[in-house]
Amino acid sequence: MPDNIRILLVDDDEDDFIITRDIITDIPGRHYHLDWTDSFDEALDLINQKKHDVYLVDYRLGARDGLELINQAIASGCTAPLILLTGQSDRETDEKAMRLGASDYLVKGTFNPFDLERSIRYSIEHANNLDQIQVLNAELEQRVIARTQELAEAITKLEETNKSLFEAQQEIRKALQKEKELHELKSRFVTIASHEFRTPLSTVLSSASLIGKYKLTEEDDKRQKHVNRIKSAVSNLTAILNDFLSLSRIEEGKIYNVPTTFELVFFTTEIVEEMQGYLKVGQQVYYQHQGQVDPVMLDKQLLKNIILNLLSNASKYSGEGKKILLSTEISPDYVKVAVKDEGIGIPEADQAHLFTPFFRAQNATNYEGTGLGLNIVKRYVDIMRGTLHYVSVINQGTTFTVQFPRNTDL
C-alpha cells in the first residue's frame, strides 16, 4: 500500500468536505492528499482520468445519487475502490452499494480517523487482490495462445512427415481436447478465485468496520466475535492461496519425492496436535497405530500435507461433536494411513469426478472450498508412488486410505 494516497471526495456539501478533511488529517502514519468535487459529471471525468487511489462518494449528489455514480464509474472501467458515504445506516442501501461494486459503506458522523483509515486500507488491498486475479487470468490466456501455437506446429509437423490422414486426425483431436480443457480450467479458476476471494474479504471489511463501533468494556464479546470472524476469513484466504500455489507448483513440475527416515507414530501424533485448533466444537481426532514401529522412509512434507488435507476435509464435512478416526499401519511391505469420518458422505453419482480439479460434490456446495484439495492429495500420492482408495456412504461418512510401498527405489 503506498504511503502517499490520493483521495477524491465527491460530495455536494462543503461542510462535509471540511469535516472529512479534518478526519483524514488526524490519521497517523501515512500521507493523504484529498481532492474534492461537488459535481457528478466532474467526478465521473476525474475518475476516468485514474489519478486517485480511492474515491469517497456521498449518497446524495443533488438530483442524482452516489449509487448511480458508482455504477457508471465501474461500467467505464474504474478498478480503484469506491467507498459510499451516507447520512444514515441503511442496510438496503449498504447491500445495493456492494452489489454495484462499492468496496465499503460508511455512515457520516459516526466514523473516526481509525475507521476511515481501516476502510481505505482494506479497500485498496481488496482491489489489489482482484488485480492479481486479473494478472493470473492474463497469464492463463497466454498459456492458451501458447497451446494454440503448439497445435499449429503439430499440424505442420504432421504434414511435413507425411503421416497418414488417420494419425493426423488423432493428433489434432488430442491437441484440441487439451486446448478445450485448458479453456475450461481457466474459466473455472477465474470464477472460483473471484468468488472465494470476495467472500472472506467482504467478511474482513464488514467486521473491521463494526469493531470500531464497540468501544465499551461490556461490548468485548461483540468485539471478539468480529475478531474471530476476521481470523477465520484470513485462515480461509490462506487455505485458498495454498491450494492455488500447490496446484501451480504441481503443474510446473516443481514438486519432488524426497524420502527421509522418521518415526511415523511420533510424526502422526504431532499432526493430530496441530489439528486441534481447526476442529469444530466437540470434534475429536482419535489416533491408533497397528503393526511394526520401525522407522519409515517417506517424504515427510508431502505425507504431512496429505494427512492434514484429509483431516481438514473430515472436520469440514462432519458436524459438531463427531468423531474422526486416524490410523496408521506399518508392515514389511507397505505403510498405510487411513482417515475415517462421520460426515455427509459423497453421492455415488459424484464419486467418478471426485479427484477432478475444482469439482464440488452436489451436497458440498454450501461448504467453503476451492474443489482442489482431493486433486492435490491424489497427485501428491502419485508423486510418492502410492495408491489412494476411498469408501463413502451418504450421510454416514467417508474413509480415505493411502498406501505406500516400503522400499521403493528412487
**End of a domain among 251, 272, 288?**
251
Give a yes or no: residue 36 inside a domain. Answer: yes
Does the residue 143 lie in any domain? Answer: yes
Q: Please report whether residue 80 resides in a domain.
A: yes
Q: Is it the case that residue 199 has pLDDT exceeding 60? A: no
CATH code of the domain in which 357 resides: 3.30.565.10
Q: What share of the chain is helix, strand, coil (3-state, %, to 5)?
A: 55, 20, 25
Same domain, 98 and 141: no
Query: Do residues 100 and 186 both lie within one domain?
Result: no
Statement to judge: residues 132 and 235 lie in one domain: yes
Residues 267, 225: one domain?
no
The pTM of the full predicted model, rounded to 2 decimals, is 0.49
Residue 187 lies in a domain: yes
Cell representation of residue 393: 456412504
Query: Any idea what the Cα angle at residue 301 is, between residues 259 and 299, rounded to 5°?
Result: 15
As a whole number, the mean pLDDT across the chain is 82
**223 and 271, same domain (yes or no):** no
Residues 281-293: what's their mean pLDDT?
Answer: 94
- Same-domain status, 95 and 148: no
Cα distances from 309 to residues 232, 282, 378, in angstroms, run 17, 20, 11
Shared-domain flag, residues 337 and 359: yes
| Residues 239 and 293 placed together within one structural domain of the fold | no
Which of 192, 216, 251 is where one domain is finished? 251
Per the CB < 8 A criterion, the answer to whether 236 and 193 are in contact is no
Share of the chain above pLDDT 70, in %: 79
Q: Are 298 and 245 found together in one domain? A: no
Domain C-terminal end among 111, 139, 170 = 111
Residue 160 is inside which H or E element, if any? helix 113-160
First to last CA, the chain: 46
Is the residue at 410 inside a domain? no
Is the domain of 104 the same as that of 225?
no
Which helix (H) or strand (E) covers residue 264, if one does? helix 264-275
Residue 34 placed within a domain: yes
Looking at residue 392, its amino acid is S
- Are 274 and 371 within one domain? yes
Which range of residues forms the domain containing residue 385?
260-405
Model pLDDT for residues 327-342, shown as the tens digit of each residue: 999 999 999 999 999 9
CA neighbor of 98 nearest in space, from 187, 16, 201, 191: 201
User: Per-residue pLDDT tens for 30-64?
Assistant: 788 999 999 999 989 999 999 999 999 988 887 88
pLDDT-based confidence at residue 360 (cuts at 50, 70, 90): confident
Q: Are residues 271 and 387 in the same domain?
A: yes
The number of domains in the chain is: 3
What pLDDT is stored for residue 410 in this prediction? 39
pLDDT single digits (tens) 95-128: 787 788 888 888 888 888 888 888 888 888 887 8
